[in-house]
Amino acid sequence: MFLAIWMAATLASGQTFGDWLGDQPRNEPDYDTILSYRTSAAAFWEIGRAMDAHPDVARVEAIGESTRGVPIWAFHVGPEPQDADHSVLVFANLHALEWIGTDVAVDLLLELLESPPQDVAVTVIPISNPDGRAKVENDLRLDRTVYRRGNAVGVDLNRDWAINRDPPAVWKKIIPAYYGHSAEPLSQPETQAIDALVARNGYTRAASLHSFGGYLYYPWSGAWERPPDHDDFVTLGRAMEAAQGRRAYRTRQLSHWGFFFRACGSEIDHLYGTYGTRAFLVEMTRSGIRPFRLRKDLKTHFRWYNPRRSAKHRERGVIAMRTLIEHPTLDGESDGVQPPELPFGQTLESP
């Protein structure tokens, strides 16, 4: 049944999304089983069923495979990016423990299948780091708590990108451990897959869903100076805040989080610096640590990022993403966006 619809999703192995899904455990979405969040299998089964109910609305594509050969699934809705007024990429779960982003991405995708955008191209990647995610699922099933950020080989995929990798020397000397990044830019198959997708489709807007903090961060994350397209970021950020209403997340340049703080080699600096994409890093929720269960929750890493009652947080995340999609096309955006001048006199090296 799935094979007929999901044609675009052929893997290197020749498998379609339908074939692949058939091998996944067929659990119903059950928010009580794993600390009230969808498992990976439940998330994809829910998407699969919704695609069956709304045939020809979404196109599914394996944009690459993880270190362990698990497909990274992207779901495209609306017109092709080059035919759209603007285009939006939403990707989640780059950090292994941050599941709330996946649930927001899935909720968003289910809504888009019900009411697809007419003039905006949207791509949703619910799980960007399937190997890290699988390790956490295994930990939870075995009832053990392990702090995990990276992929199968432990690389932090949030610090594996090509722009602003090196902080100003002075900070690096003062507190070196603070400014870590991976050994080489785009060293992992997961980051390579997302980079190739953006290179092909030239998204004008993007959001990478993380937790926690309640912020809508924009570049630069690895440089103090303002990005040349600062006004666009503030416009989109304020629109998301306004839509969220009470307890809205706050729009802020990531490097301005604290005077010493720099996130080097982040995905938002890369997408903006390389492709001009107005890319946000959304830190959802204000943590799941409950003041009255402090001792217990501090010991449960999963709970730091994923509050026990997720419904309100998911709603707030989806509202922000819908706004990022629906906010009117900005000046010049319909012709695509251009990469800015890079800070520190950096130049882009072709690989």
Which residue number, 61 or 98, has a Cβ lying nearer to Zn ion? 98
Q: Which residue is nearest to Zn ion (CB)?
A: 210
Cis (ω within 30 of 0) for the bond into 212? yes
> Binding of Zn ion at residue 205 (CB under 5 A)?
no
Task: For tokens 């899904």, name the residue.
Answer: 21
Which residue number, 18 or 307, has a Cβ lying nearer to Zn ion? 307
Which residue number, 100 or 120, has a Cβ lying nearer to Zn ion? 100
Give least dist CB 158 to Zn ion, A: 6
The residues, ordered by sequence, that sit 6+ positions from 100 with a Cβ below 8 Å of its Cβ are: 37, 209, 211, 284, 285, 305, 306, 307, 310, 313, 314, 317
104 near 222, Cβ under 8 Å? no
Which residue number, 210 or 313, has a Cβ lying nearer to Zn ion? 210
Which residue number, 210 or 301, has a Cβ lying nearer to Zn ion? 210
Give least dist CB 263 to Zn ion, A: 10
Give least dist CB 95 to Zn ion, A: 4
38, 76, 86, 95: which one contacts Zn ion (CB under 5 A)?
A: 95
Among the listed ranges 12-20, 56-64, 98-106, 296-304, the one in contact with Zn ion (CB under 5 A) is 98-106
Give least dist CB 50 to Zn ion, A: 27
Which residue number, 208 or 251, has a Cβ lying nearer to Zn ion? 208
> Binding of Zn ion at residue 159 (CB under 5 A)?
no
Among the listed ranges 37-45, 65-73, 91-99, 193-201, the one in contact with Zn ion (CB under 5 A) is 91-99
Q: What is the 3-state secondary structure (H, E, C) of the chain?
A: CHHHHCCCCCCCCCCCHHHHHHCCCCCCCCCCCECCECCHHHHHHHHHHHHHHCCCCEEEEEEEECCCCCEEEEEEECCCHHHCCEEEEEEECCCCCCCHHHHHHHHHHHHHHHCCCCCEEEEEECCCCHHHHHHHHHHHHCCCCCCCCCCCCCCCHHHCCCCCCCCCHHHHHHCHHHHCCCCCCCCCHHHHHHHHHHHHHCCCEEEEEEECCCEEEECCCCCCCCCCCHHHHHHHHHHHHHHHCCCCCEEEEHHHHCCCCCCCCCHHHHHHHHHCCEEEEEEECCCCCCHHHHHHHHHCHHHHHCCCCCHHHHHHHHHHHHHHHHCCCCCCHHHCCCCCCCHHHCCCCCC
Give least dist CB 35 to Zn ion, A: 18
Give least dist CB 167 to Zn ion, A: 19
Give least dist CB 150 to Zn ion, A: 11
Among the listed ranges 13-21, 36-44, 99-107, 210-218, the one in contact with Zn ion (CB under 5 A) is 210-218
Among the listed ranges 83-91, 95-103, 171-179, 224-232, the one in contact with Zn ion (CB under 5 A) is 95-103
Which residue number, 45 or 161, has a Cβ lying nearer to Zn ion? 161
The rounded distance, in Å, linking the Cα atoms of 266 and 256 is: 15
Give least dist CB 228 to Zn ion, A: 26
> Binding of Zn ion at residue 210 (CB under 5 A)?
yes
Which residue number, 156 or 232, has a Cβ lying nearer to Zn ion? 156
Give least dist CB 280 to Zn ion, A: 13
Give the interface size with Zn ion as a residue count (CB under 5 A): 3
Which residue number, 158 or 251, has a Cβ lying nearer to Zn ion? 158
Residues that bind Zn ion (CB under 5 A): 95, 98, 210
